[in-house]
A and B are shown apart, each in its own frame.
Chain A
Amino acid sequence: MIRFILSRGLRAVVTIFLVVTFAFIVLRLSGDPAMQILSVDAPPEAIAAFRNEWGLNQPIWQQFLDYLLNVLHGNFGDSMREGRPAMDIVLEHVGATLMITLPALALKIVIGIPAGIYAALHRNSLADRMTMMISVAGFTVPSFVLALVLVLIFSVHLGWLPSTGNATWKHAILPIVTLGTAGAAILARFTRSAMLEVLGQSYIRAASAKGLIWRQVVTGHALPNAAIPTVTIVGFMIGSLIAGAVVVESVFSWPGIGYLLISAVANRDLAIVQSILLLIALCMVCANLVVDLLYGWIDPRVRLRSAH
């Protein structure tokens, strides 16, 4: 087990290093922060002074080495726009993002998994076809389109809900519904196909043949075996809690991580973008690690394979 965790941990460190390196190089090759932040019409002297102040006129390898050393000391750099530690700014926005992504995750699980199970158990029925039709629509409609449609209906025409900002709990409803709809649709499809595959296995027939009632077959044998692909998807969704709402936050002007990321990329606020990517990579790596461990817990065969 320790070997398993160590190998996964090492892989995680390499992944994070690659993400950080890639982000660092691409960001520096894709535009001059001085011109973005001060505007192209700023006096040339001001742009030169800014570049000098932030070390942007040093060779890129020098900048990268400095950055790595600072990160190892827990210093993720300062925001060029705000002049404050970048990670502080990023962490200030995490709460707002979680305020919509956590309820959206709950919505996805509560709606998506039961819908998928129900559709699988009623394969080819009208209910199955309806569920899948809604599911296909749910994950094929881009989130910004769904967001705008919801705003048109519930904000513009009905006037029930606000469309932008985060001033009250009501402001969170439309972003949560937008995020939850696509995720629930994806979960429903994956759960259905996983269930269908399991229900066709011989051990399900064996369980039925030995006289178990159908509910016992489903809950005792089908569901645990169908859980692995579903857990993978849920794990991915948990990993995306921090960064999975970029478009939705932008449409609803919800001041979370995604909103900050768009602004930081547009302004080439390098330290902010790097800190966000680092955080996203960490979340993804941790979520994957947890999923790997869960596999072993859910399916004893995985544990046995690891042991051998």
Chain B
Amino acid sequence: MILTRRNLLKSGAAMGGALALPRFAIGQTKRPSITIAVQQVSNSASLEPLREQSNVGTRIFATIYDRLINQDLPRSLDTVPGLAESWERIDHRTVELNLRQGVKFHNGDELTADDVVFSFGAERMFGEGYVADSNATLFTNVLVRDNVKGKELPAEVVAVAKRNWPSIERVESVSKYKVRFVNKTPDVTMEGRMARMGSEIVSQRGFSEAESWLEWSRKPVGTGPYMVEEFIPDQKLVLRAHDEYWGGRPPVEKITMLVVPEVASRVNGLYSGEFDFICDMPPDQIDGIESHAAFEVQGGLIPNHRLTVFDKHHPQLVDPRIRRAMTHAIDRQLIVDSIWSGRTRVPAGLQWEFYGPMFIEGWTVPEYDVEKARQLVKDAGYKGDPIPYRLLNNYYTNQVATGQILVEMWRQAGLNVEIQMKENWQQIFDQSTQRGVRDWSNSAPFNDPISSIVNQHGPNGQQQQAGEWSNEEMNKLSGMMEVETDMARRKAQFKRMLEICEREDPAYTVLHQNATFTGKRKDIQWKAAPSFAMDFRQGNFAI
């Protein structure tokens, strides 16, 4: 280019303009906006993870919030630094975390230790006057505002927080960028709990400025790559790029999630070009979508296993040999291959690889062996009395088809299991008539067996609370494991729990790992996470 006075002036003006722009806007190209059709955005009409404890909630929270310790989406569920760039175990009760500096909330505020303390405080999590199971709890750094009218936490939020953090003593600010978590009892799962749903960090000012808890929960202020622009329950959620996101400029300008309850409508919308992604696709739709050259189906395994659960108080199921026979009579791989098109798998019992050192290598679900099942039935002296199987109409994907297959498999082993269709969970748990078998699914919210086998089948878990099953040794082990810090002993305890719950005195039997499928435009480069969470951060989206 020839240097003329005019060119020089133009260059000067351009440089001046560039300097006036915010840093993130320099050299940025226009980004695409996308539309995602989902079955539901939020079951509880709230975007607060402590209220919306659901799979659909999991899908959106990674876009709005960060945790101190994140999961390594979209690659795995391993824990990686999030808002804390490093952390250190002071002792078995204490963890100190160094916060990432320069992190901005959606409202422009910088993240400090005060926000973390607030996020785990009474005002947001535990409610006023919270007292833990024993001793006084010291939330010394929480500023309890006088004008909390309209900010009272829903009771279930407090209950979820207490379940997530049963023994937390205090969270305190050490310095502007350092926080300390202190538990009342030794707990090796503290880091895992920080990475679980419900431990999202929110802006203290954002919470304080909201008129009410409800308003806050509809437009929360986090640090995630996208901020909430509009949320209309049961209709849509609009997210806008948070350009100051610490993890890099988000690659999508606007994400619109539309609630489209009908599967056929979601598929048609993908074909017609109205949607770029469609979620919650049943496996039987995969071939149809992939028969179109322009579309593909992504996704797969999520940290959630489908189970058959036993009520050991049923006259036929009191004898563990009958329950064991049921576990051996199931050809799980056949279920996976036939009604899941081979797109999921039979896992190694109620555990996941992201447990890391706590994963029990070599453990499997009971082997498929009809002869063994028949022998167990014979040994138990079973006379063919019916065993009720309470079934919901496809609350879980393929639930009815799976139930019908199971009944036929159990029949092969000589068991007379009768399906009773029910409308809701209340009828499933109803104790006015004899219960026998039911369906369930178990997740692992964090990377330790405490999060699944203890929380679901231990003394405070749903199965025992519902009066279906209990085992003295299992309950003793649960209590021991919660405070055990020696990893070898913890692992041995976990293995023993699996032996009790899945072999000796079956509480449940794992059928298969669950999977979720997302249809999408093939020209969009995007990878589904091994979770319900959808990741639209830099590096995982391009057209």
Question: Given that A30-B423, A39-B54 are known contacts, is A81 also in contact with B233, CB under 8 Å in the complex?
Answer: yes
Is the Cβ of A253 less than 8 Å from the Cβ of B258?
A: yes
Identify which of A49, A151, A259 contacts B268 (C-beta below 8 A): A151
Q: How many residues of B contact A (CB 8 A)?
A: 44
B425 at the interface (CB under 8 A from A): yes
> In the complex the two chains form, what is the Cα distance from A48 to B156 in whole Å?
8
> In the complex the two chains form, what is the Cα distance from A86 to B271 in whole Å?
36
Is the Cβ of A42 less than 8 Å from the Cβ of B156?
A: yes
Tell me the chain B residues, 404-438 only, with Cβ under 8 Å from chain A: 423-427
> In the complex the two chains form, what is the Cα distance from A250 to B54 in whole Å?
22
Is the Cβ of B268 less than 8 Å from the Cβ of A152?
A: yes
Is the Cβ of A253 less than 8 Å from the Cβ of B274?
A: no
Is the Cβ of A156 less than 8 Å from the Cβ of B424?
A: no
Bitwise, B20-53 to A at CB < 8 A (1) or not (0) is 0000000000000000010000011100000001
Is the Cβ of A159 less than 8 Å from the Cβ of B272?
A: yes
Q: Given the complex, which residues of A lie within 8 Å of B274, measured CB to CB?
A: 155, 162-165
Question: Given that A32-B424, A35-B424 are known contacts, is A44 also in contact with B462, CB under 8 Å in the complex?
Answer: yes
A45 at the interface (CB under 8 A from B): yes
In the complex formed, the residue of B with least CB distance to A35 is B425
Question: Given that A41-B443, A156-B268 are known contacts, is A53 also in contact with B234, CB under 8 Å in the complex?
Answer: no
Is the Cβ of B155 less than 8 Å from the Cβ of A49?
A: yes
Tell me the chain B residues, 261-294 only, with Cβ under 8 Å from chain A: 261-262, 264-265, 268-269, 271-274
A251 at the interface (CB under 8 A from B): yes
> In the complex the two chains form, what is the Cα distance from A268 to B424 in whole Å?
10
Task: Return A167 CB to nearest CB of chain B, in Å.
Answer: 9
Q: Given the complex, which residues of A lie within 8 Å of B341, measured CB to CB?
A: none
A52 at the interface (CB under 8 A from B): yes
A15 at the interface (CB under 8 A from B): no
Tell me the chain A residues, 3-62 only, with Cβ under 8 Å from chain B: 30-32, 35-50, 52-53
Identify which of B37, B162, B234 contacts A255 (C-beta below 8 A): B234
Task: Return B229 CB to nearest CB of chain A, in Å.
Answer: 15
Is the Cβ of B273 less than 8 Å from the Cβ of A164?
A: no
Is the Cβ of B423 less than 8 Å from the Cβ of A31?
A: yes
A148 at the interface (CB under 8 A from B): yes
Q: Given the complex, which residues of B lie within 8 Å of A251, measured CB to CB?
A: 262, 264-265
Task: Return A199 CB to nearest CB of chain B, in Å.
Answer: 44
In the complex formed, the residue of B with least CB distance to A160 is B272
A267 at the interface (CB under 8 A from B): yes
> In the complex the two chains form, what is the Cα distance from A266 to B267 in whole Å?
22
> In the complex the two chains form, what is the Cα distance from A228 to B53 in whole Å?
55
Q: Given the complex, which residues of A lie within 8 Å of B233, measured CB to CB?
A: 81-82
Bitwise, B186-208 to A at CB < 8 A (1) or not (0) is 00000000000000000000000
Is the Cβ of B154 less than 8 Å from the Cβ of A255?
A: no
Identify which of B156, B214, B232, B272 contacts A155 (C-beta below 8 A): B272
Task: Return A210 CB to nearest CB of chain B, in Å.
Answer: 59
Task: Return B219 CB to nearest CB of chain A, in Å.
Answer: 14
Question: Given that A45-B159, A52-B155, A155-B268 are known contacts, is A32 also in contact with B425, CB under 8 Å in the complex?
Answer: yes
How many residues of A sit at the interface, in one of the four size bands? 35 or more
B235 at the interface (CB under 8 A from A): yes
Is the Cβ of A38 less than 8 Å from the Cβ of B44?
A: yes
B89 at the interface (CB under 8 A from A): no
In the complex formed, the residue of A with least CB distance to B55 is A39
Question: Given that A31-B423, A38-B53, A81-B44 are known contacts, is A260 also in contact with B234, CB under 8 Å in the complex?
Answer: yes
Q: Given the complex, which residues of B lie within 8 Å of A35, measured CB to CB?
A: 424-426
> In the complex the two chains form, what is the Cα distance from A250 to B465 in whole Å?
37
> In the complex the two chains form, what is the Cα distance from A84 to B214 in whole Å?
9
Q: Given the complex, which residues of A lie within 8 Å of B158, measured CB to CB?
A: 49
Q: Given the complex, which residues of B lie within 8 Å of A48, measured CB to CB?
A: 159
Q: Given the complex, which residues of A lie within 8 Å of B440, measured CB to CB?
A: 40
A208 at the interface (CB under 8 A from B): no
* B residues with CB within 8 A of A: 37, 43-45, 53-54, 154-156, 158-160, 162-163, 214, 232-236, 258-262, 264-265, 268-269, 271-274, 423-427, 440-441, 443, 460, 462, 465
19 more CB-based (< 8 A) A-B contacts, given A41-B53, A152-B268, A155-B274: A31-B425, A31-B427, A39-B43, A40-B440, A40-B462, A42-B156, A44-B465, A45-B162, A45-B163, A46-B159, A53-B154, A53-B156, A84-B214, A163-B268, A165-B236, A253-B258, A255-B232, A255-B235, A263-B234
5 tightest CB-CB pairs across the interface, nearest first? A31-B424, A49-B155, A46-B159, A46-B156, A45-B159
* A residues with CB within 8 A of B: 30-32, 35-50, 52-53, 79, 81-84, 148, 151-152, 155-156, 159, 162-165, 250-253, 255, 259-260, 262-263, 267-268
| 27 contacting pairs across A/B (C-beta < 8 A) | A31-B424, A31-B425, A31-B427, A36-B424, A36-B425, A37-B43, A38-B53, A40-B425, A40-B440, A41-B443, A42-B156, A44-B460, A44-B465, A49-B158, A50-B156, A53-B155, A81-B43, A81-B45, A83-B214, A155-B268, A156-B272, A164-B260, A164-B265, A164-B274, A253-B259, A260-B234, A262-B261
